[in-house]
Structure 1
């Protein structure tokens, strides 16, 4: 029997409807959540992503302060804009779209963002708080993964989760989040990576596999035990002459083969992807509530 598909589009849509109602309630109190967005340069993927974020803000009623800057913008100019947003009470969250041009120090820019407005969850203070289990803005993609598991009824408490990939954006934070003593976590976590010996030995022991390696077919059917839950975070382009664009998007998992062994699985596209922007909206609304003393 094929696995049940975890529909990220539907889960994201459900959360956005919840947020839309929450934003409407805040507006009745005179509070309009605001997201400051900064895009430097004209990278097509970044432009598309930022446009989608702007549209999502409009959809649920969040104010979006959009700033699209030329690629030659200096680091000093960018830092000045971040500081303006830090001091603007209308802005509850600040998003600096990565990657930045090579002449700009990404770490310096992320460090300049007020941690109280760090809705991407990348500031070292946010990361530190997350690590020790204190209240913090959680990175959007890992948070989205945890929400997908919870809302799909996947039991994580006591489960063995194998995370494949150790990036600061997905692998490390999702492993930490699933270790925490709280709802939707309490798992035993194994973190694997490119130098792990006999990756399949580890993944075959997993109740839940989270694939975030950035390589197609990292997880094949022989690496998955019967009934495991498989979350595919990867987005990779592979050549496909049958497609008008000349390529198609695939994840890190051999979807067609693995879905015959897994109990639940996320597709690519339409799985984890829609959750990332949604959790950015979630963090922005949460920031507005904190700024106004609302639980």
Structure 2
């Protein structure tokens, strides 16, 4: 039986996120000859070359001509300049486009690329260590096969989930996109609190990071976080005393307001990006 040909995946942009995805694909067993990367930076291409014998170029058109799926991994401000020269080729070949650029709607991307099948993705920074959360939205012309291909790329960097409403990506940005920073900030606060209680910095850091890691592992099980919190909280005990301080400071309300502010800012940033487009 003839083995099915693996689709060729082209990455336009060779930054950290693209490098993480390429590394994940190679570790998952994808052939290096099915991965292409284009970047104008010699240094970026050199870093990519360290991963394996993938195809490297500084020419986006040459890369796009050989790819079945294109991952757009450039900064949002550079996207128009990248896509418009490719539009005739994209209209002819109709590869699947997967954008990991924050804040750019599918409508904006299609103004520059044309009406091609498009998946918009919101990853987060833990993808750099293979523990990311990526949320995907696909236009109506993305086939089931296309969805599988896009998911296979992002799944190498962590968990993947789809939404059917593009507007929900603003909430996604506020929860999982910005979310790592919230946890980092809480860890910072815990480490500093431990030091104020007499722990040396290294010990406090290890206690906090391992506790966060273990709590996250437990929360990924079948028991929801609220129940886990109740199970570890004894009436009149130390945990209950600390949680009472959080409640007095309206921690739940504070988190709700912070996430809402991030979602509102995501909407505003997308509007700013589109309004800042140069005249054609």
Relative to the length of structure 1, the TM-score reads: 0.32
Give the structure with the larger helix fraction: 2
User: Whose RCO is larger (CA < 8 A, sep 6+)?
Assistant: 1
> Is the radius of gyration larger for structure 1 or structure 2?
2
Relative to the length of structure 2, the TM-score reads: 0.33
